[in-house]
Structure 1
């Protein structure tokens, strides 16, 4: 099933669940993204197919007729749709919480909220709690995550610029993506590197610029491949270095506590030495401290902070 159709079906379910009264086909057409640009005939065919597909997978769409209206109305009764109460063990709840992280950068939450907004603007009352439940958010902080997650889902080959650990060298990599996984708080792409003709893992924080999706045959994931084992051995070792920071006096106490050395200056900025491995991860921390920190050296760490701040501004 294509991404566009998946989003349309999800939006249709949200629309029919959220409304407190049956909606006509025309109201649904105006509220659900994916319907509003179709001609009358194309919309009718698409709407009928979507209703049938949802019913086939067990989603009950009720057709209600109001004697005062010319057209029938549609809605999904919450009691018929919702699952019974589910009790989760602590480890099961933890897994669900982790799965929810990927939706921070997914476009479905935004599209779903847009559908509800259209309904409310049209005077249709909706359940307020439903929209918020769809927007569980834990940010990955890696700009490449959305494109790579979609490429894995759609089984598309990707191409991107990649900087090795502890190096200024940037190379273009063409990869058949197998999965995006997290290890020790960092996100990695696991897949087949066409340039090296071997499986490799790539840390998302080292990917520079845009991720391009290439046309061609769908990617095939080998049977039995262990993504976590692959990511457990990163493609390049990390080299620890020392960053020299200028920190505004009286601020950033947490940074000072883990610093290798702190030297007080008379100009109101203290010189702080901090050991680090990945400049992108260091940049994510320092950028969050705002104007209280400046990076004096090394240049790649300073550039990484600048990229983060420019990205936030954009």
Structure 2
């Protein structure tokens, strides 16, 4: 028990035993465990050179593995190395299941959005340390996962990566910011003074949600349209009533109307669109009801604060979609179709 406390303390403190870089104790034990499990018969001398520690340190690791972790290992005098003489339980805290693997993979694919930027190198170094600790445990090399899976994501411009970091800093420090912003229908950018509350990713794009001081209301800003950014020294308090996740949940995409009113959207989809509706979730409040025995006709219901993006979603299905409600949505779709015919 004394040795257990000593080793755990060493792991927590992560203090090297000599001048120079050394691997962390827990990472070292994982590597020793993997080498023995692979049947390579490692010994204290070779392991000490590999990890840049003393042979006594490796011996203490071996004793800890046997006495405290229940790993059955013995020394083979003929092959001059350690081998598994019985069960080889996984090191506690490093067993990775299907859900953890999925989370790791999705996190890894997020790096594609910053490919080619300075931040990519830093993030890859951090992620490689995490993966190095689990590859041997799950018996799966990361390169194999990259060959087997792909997640298509839009790339993030290097300028936007830098801006994202600056905005995140302002959100966390709760400091007012000033920038120029060009609306989609504007000819040029206009100055804005904002209290940044939240950063959210929607459909592959990043958006800032904050209180526009000049307009006295919440506004949403797309990162690519923000220029001449400056973080001010003025500190503010974020309203306790503001919830970034809830704010985005109420919108179908990123567009958001003021107030608390929402629209109950009801749309029937048929044929291939009906099958897609049973497989996908376009909104957190979505409910999908199958209306026929073959599943070729469904009704999709959800609540949305703004309808502009819902119009585009309905039109994307063409003749396979029919708006049931609300009346405002039906009118907006009709007006858009009229303009398209013109």
Question: Which fold has the larger relative contact order, with Cα–Cα distance below 8 Å and residues 6 or more apart in sequence?
Answer: 1
Work out which of the two has the higher radius of gyration on C-alpha atoms and give 1 or 2: 2
TM-score (norm 1): 0.38
TM-score (norm 2): 0.36
